[in-house]
Homo-oligomer: A and B are copies of this chain.
């Protein structure tokens, strides 16, 4: 995700209004390393800005997705949002729900190769590994 100023400028330029709700959501996403759900974003933001509704969170996330400022991923039927929009691997802990990022240079090559082989026009990619994180895995090994 880019910096706040650029985001604000580009949204305003396209005729979108800069509301406190949108600022709060973008600000949170810019600062977190987390991959929060809509619900969590709502909860966190309410502490500082109590006047943000869940529907506004959803609508803002939709806008940010369209502007390619966040990616949406699905973890067990719940959408999780990722402000880290470069190609990378998301590691999902099936116990605590945490998601960690791992960079891997070859992902872009793989994507290009797959596009060639399949003749698809590729617009989005998602590389996801699930299991147990270092904290949780001890609990699941006999």
A136 to chain B minimum Cβ distance, whole angstroms, is 8
> When the two chains form their complex, are residues B129 and A120 in contact, meaning their CB atoms are under 8 A apart?
yes
Give 5 A-B pairs besides A102-B114, A111-B129 with Cβ atoms closer than 8 angstroms. A94-B123, A94-B124, A102-B118, A126-B126, A126-B128
> When the two chains form their complex, are residues A117 and B130 in contact, meaning their CB atoms are under 8 A apart?
no
What is the total number of residues of chain A having a CB less than 8 Å from a CB of chain B? Answer: 37
> When the two chains form their complex, are residues A114 and B123 in contact, meaning their CB atoms are under 8 A apart?
no
List chain B residues, Cβ under 8 A from A50.
Answer: none
A28 to chain B minimum Cβ distance, whole angstroms, is 24
A5 to chain B minimum Cβ distance, whole angstroms, is 30
A residues 78-125 near B (Cβ < 8 Å) are 89, 91, 93-94, 100, 102, 104, 106-107, 110-111, 113-115, 117-125
